[in-house]
Structure 1
Amino acid sequence: MNQLTPGVVAGRLGPGDYARNFADIAPRLDAHEARVAADRCYFCHDAPCMTACPTTIDIPLFIRQIATGTPEAAAKTIFSQNILGGMCARVCPTEQLCEEACVREVAEGKPVEIGRLQRYATDSLMETGVHPFTRGKPTGKRVAVVGAGPAGLAAAHRLAMKGHDVVIYDARPKAGGLNEYGIASYKAPDGFAQAEVDWLMKIGGIAVEKGKALGQGVTLDGLKAGHDAVVLAIGLRGVNALRAEGEGLANVVDAVDFIADLRQAEDKSRLAVGRDVVVIGGGMTAVDAAVQSRLLGAENVTIVYRRDQSQMSASADEQDHATSVGVRIIHNAAPVRVIGSGRAEEIEFAYTESSPEGLKLMAETFRLRADQVMKAIGQTLLGAPEGLRVEGGKIAVTGTGRTSVPGVWAAGDCAAGGEDLTVTAVAEGRDAAEDIHASLMGAAG
């Protein structure tokens, strides 16, 4: 139990409530449901859904394979482009990507359920325990991957398929990155993130060294000396500051840490949560933290975002889900002061408006009760290795992830450009691996 304040406590709910609240939010389709859903697809020749997918999965093909009763073949179609297709089926904002582009959505306002069909196919194959890919002929080349998140795992798997030996270095006790530590528990329950990592590793040729990261038992120069190529997939581990008075008070926490603690908790009834929780931010992390606070028993949960609703990066579906469980969302307000005696008790906001000079704080303010404040206002790169060019707070890259240092690639959230999505990270890791392979084998030839 948190001793900082009586308001932040564990065990707010009855024993059965935690299991119900954190059950799978969108259980997989059964075989009949999948066939019915697949039959709605027009199997477009110039499929806009495929163009909208960052990993360019052949969506019409895999849906046709489901429709003809071969979900394992459909899964291989998916995995050939996105080896983390199982998790992406659970966490991708499909309503903003493939499903938004679906012809059915444009014509009828109801797209083919591409995400759920993808989960049906990938789960069907993974449950067999079969890994559909084999390692290529050994090349004698050794590649280091720093970071075991989506980008790092995708790069490692593709490199292993090409016959290279791969070593992944990661700071945490478990591989998976944000898939393991950074998404809502109800999106991937029952240890799915680790099951997916274990399944991916069946390709062979990939070793994982945990408790190691840049500056923590590993240096970029050392990696370059001991490997033929290096992939940096280190994510964004820093959290932006509120830049508000009182930010250092007790019970002002990082939302990413709150989510990570929840994901790793064996008994959610032991997790402390406030009675009045305020989450500051407008992205997926803010929504996940707010919704899970409610599911843990918080009485009043409010998301406050500094701009208008149209600029929130969390999808409309995620916002609707948040309000459906009782989360209040306030737009056009920014924090100016956390108030309390040693610990957070209230937080003061100023209304905002957009202007040609940027966002302006208005004179009018308001306060919300808050015994727990969560920061979800974006993450930053925790120090790029010396010699790497940085652009916009991320590692600058050209082409398919080449950095300013020869022999070093970067992919995922740490790399400049692209969107901070799991599916984008997978695409960048995969493409960096293809470029590394071409580079190494060209050099070998």
Structure 2
Amino acid sequence: MTNSPFTPGVAAERLADPAYAENFSDLHPALDTHEALVAADRCYFCHDAPCITACPTDIDIPLFVRQIATGTPDAAAKTILSQNIMGGMCARVCPTETLCEQVCVREVAEGKPVLIGQLQRFATDHLQNQDVHPFERADATGKTVAVVGAGPAGLACAHRLAMLGHDVVVYDARSKPGGLNEYGIATYKTPAGFAQAEVEWLLGIGGITLEHGKVLGRDVTLDGLKADFDAVFLGMGLGGVNGLTVEGGDKDGVLDAVDFISDLRQAADVSALPVGREVVVVGGGMTAVDAAVQAKLLGALNVTLAYRRGRDRMNASVFEQDLAASKGVRIMTHVVPKEIIGNGAVREIEFEYVNADMSSTGQTICVPADQVLRAIGQTLEGEALPALERGKIAVTNAGRSSIDGVWAGGDCATGGDDLTVTAVAEGRDAAMDIHTVLTGVAG
């Protein structure tokens, strides 16, 4: 077992080799054809289906489920992808339990919804495994658009613009495209390199050029992009991370949860990633849960997820909370960090219990920790950006910013929830608006 020289108790190779393959296998194994037909047969094909309204990308769910039921999964995939070009990823990571499946008539009546997410995956996988792109580019418009960020919003925007005949250059700070899908989602949700496979498939539309290692403000500027392109879309996400402003917050063993997840996502061998025996994750969102669960799957003895409010206020869905609990993660609520204790490296973290209004109860508790993962929110980075609101780019009317010719969407903008599916919808809608402005023709 390889120990870190800086953080006693943090080590790699905590488990036997077979355990890693099992722990990081697909969270929801794909349906086979028979299972998909049985699942599709449960749909009532509602005329005014509430599931469509609940989907941020407005996919015609009853139609694609009927297409699966009638043995035409490729047609179902095109129905999905025409609204959500990243439908394969969203089928894997969307919180369907709080979106389409929550309002499914079967869920309301029986407590067991149609498996919409898994059926969406069945259809999109069936098409994408054939290496076929169902859309063709329109005639070239002669217009060029710069997209900053190769995450869900940027890629969705780029694809729709390319399909409409525009030439698109995507600038991304990382060495690989995909954004959150590639670097920020639990490995067990998208194993086997799916994120990159989906991007490569998406780029099959043509007309999209990727420029890696390009940071807005360092390698390219907004003024420069405006001068060189007919329009600009900003979809770079949130690059900064909120720190723990408590005594001892700079000790060895205190890490950003997003970096922990990214390192795991990019690891050629997950067993080589060091993890503590006593891990504490501070936060209550999806990133916090992903980090906590993966720490447990890597072999941590005890993992505690600590959140300042009640479970009903956590951004992570009930499904995600239950998943964490099922993997052995302890969830502590109504606690805030007070001090990180240790001689150089973290040894324990002291929490203060708080009331619902965040006032102190006067009670504290110390939790053993040799690794603390911060998951308390991310921040927008960049200079000379359009006007901000609540720390994000303020947008109106399908992503229009305060600067003419500049649109924004995804996590960096104020458009909606911080979900992959919402980012895709915002990128798609911005592309349609950009097309209308550039050509005078509705997309």
- The match for 1:401 among 399, 402, 420 is 399
Task: Please name the residue that 1:345 is paired with.
Answer: 347
151-160 vs 1-10, which moves further: 1-10
Q: After superposition, what is the alpha-carbon deviation per residue over 1:74-105, rounded to whole angstroms, capped at 9, x for unaligned?
A: 00000000000000000000000000010111
Structure 2 residue 49 is the aligned partner of structure 1 residue 47: yes
Task: Please name the residue that 1:377 is paired with.
Answer: 376
Q: How far is the alpha carbon of 1:362 from its aligned partner?
A: 2.3
Distance 1:412 1:242 in 2: 25
Task: Please name the residue that 1:136 is paired with.
Answer: 138
Task: Please name the residue that 1:26 is paired with.
Answer: 28
Q: How far is the alpha carbon of 1:6 from its aligned partner?
A: 2.8
Q: How far is the alpha carbon of 1:40 from its aligned partner?
A: 0.4
- The match for 2:84 among 82, 85, 100 is 82
Query: Is the Cα–Cα contact under 8 Å of residues 334 and 361 in structure 1 kept in the other structure?
Result: no
Q: How far is the alpha carbon of 1:297 from its aligned partner?
A: 0.4
Q: After superposition, what is the alpha-carbon deviation per residue over 1:412-439, rounded to whole angstroms, capped at 9, x for unaligned?
A: 0000131000000000000000000000
Q: How many residues align?
A: 440
Structure 2 residue 386 is the aligned partner of structure 1 residue 388: yes
- The match for 1:297 among 296, 299, 313 is 299
Query: Is the Cα–Cα contact under 8 Å of residues 166 and 207 in structure 1 kept in the other structure?
Result: yes
Structure 2 residue 185 is the aligned partner of structure 1 residue 183: yes
Query: Is the Cα–Cα contact under 8 Å of residues 280 and 375 in structure 1 kept in the other structure?
Result: yes
Corresponding residue SS for 1:342: coil
Structure 2 residue 226 is the aligned partner of structure 1 residue 227: no
Corresponding residue SS for 1:135: coil
Matched residue type, 1:400: A
Change beyond 3 A, Cα 1:159–1:293: same
Query: Is the Cα–Cα contact under 8 Å of residues 8 and 370 in structure 2 kept in the other structure?
Result: no
Q: How far is the alpha carbon of 1:157 from its aligned partner?
A: 0.1
Q: After superposition, what is the alpha-carbon deviation per residue over 1:12-70, rounded to whole angstroms, capped at 9, x for unaligned?
A: 11111111110111111000000000000000000000000000000000000000000
Matched residue type, 1:179: N
Task: Please name the residue that 1:271 is paired with.
Answer: 273
Task: Please name the residue that 1:154 is paired with.
Answer: 156
Corresponding residue SS for 1:365: strand
Identity of aligned residues (%): 68
Query: Is the Cα–Cα contact under 8 Å of residues 7 and 346 in structure 2 kept in the other structure?
Result: no
Distance 1:240 1:213 in 2: 20
C-alpha root-mean-square deviation of aligned residues, in Å? 1.1
Task: Please name the residue that 1:261 is paired with.
Answer: 263
Distance 2:218 2:261 in 1: 24
Corresponding residue SS for 1:168: strand
TM-score by length of 2: 0.98
Corresponding residue SS for 1:214: coil
Corresponding residue SS for 2:355: strand
Change beyond 3 A, Cα 1:135–1:443: closer
Q: After superposition, what is the alpha-carbon deviation per residue over 1:163-215, rounded to whole angstroms, capped at 9, x for unaligned?
A: 00000000101000000000000100000000000000000000000000202
Q: How far is the alpha carbon of 1:340 from its aligned partner?
A: 0.5
Query: Is the Cα–Cα contact under 8 Å of residues 291 and 325 in structure 1 kept in the other structure?
Result: yes
- The match for 1:441 among 425, 439, 442 is 439
Matched residue type, 1:242: L
Query: Is the Cα–Cα contact under 8 Å of residues 287 and 314 in structure 1 kept in the other structure?
Result: yes
Task: Please name the residue that 2:417 is paired with.
Answer: 419
Query: Is the Cα–Cα contact under 8 Å of residues 409 and 415 in structure 2 kept in the other structure?
Result: no
Distance 1:215 1:4 in 2: 34
Distance 2:164 2:281 in 1: 44
Distance 2:57 2:335 in 1: 36
Distance 2:234 2:30 in 1: 34
Corresponding residue SS for 1:100: coil
Task: Please name the residue that 2:362 is paired with.
Answer: 363
Q: How far is the alpha carbon of 1:443 from its aligned partner?
A: 9.2
Query: Is the Cα–Cα contact under 8 Å of residues 131 and 202 in structure 1 kept in the other structure?
Result: yes
Change beyond 3 A, Cα 1:303–1:387: closer
- The match for 1:167 among 146, 166, 169 is 169
Distance 2:394 2:142 in 1: 29
- The match for 2:426 among 428, 431, 437 is 428
Task: Please name the residue that 2:325 is paired with.
Answer: 323
Q: How far is the alpha carbon of 1:387 from its aligned partner?
A: 5.2
Distance 1:426 1:346 in 2: 40
Change beyond 3 A, Cα 1:401–1:443: same
- The match for 1:118 among 112, 117, 120 is 120
Q: How far is the alpha carbon of 1:5 from its aligned partner?
A: 2.5
Unaligned stretches of 5+ residues in structure 2:
none
Distance 2:307 2:15 in 1: 28
Q: After superposition, what is the alpha-carbon deviation per residue over 1:365-396, rounded to whole angstroms, capped at 9, x for unaligned?
A: 0010000000001111113x325110000000
429-438 vs 14-23, which moves further: 14-23
Distance 1:171 1:234 in 2: 8
Distance 1:302 1:129 in 2: 43
Task: Please name the residue that 1:105 is paired with.
Answer: 107
Q: How far is the alpha carbon of 1:360 from its aligned partner?
A: 1.6
Distance 1:6 1:343 in 2: 7
Distance 1:27 1:338 in 2: 40
Corresponding residue SS for 2:440: helix
Matched residue type, 2:422: T
Matched residue type, 1:12: R
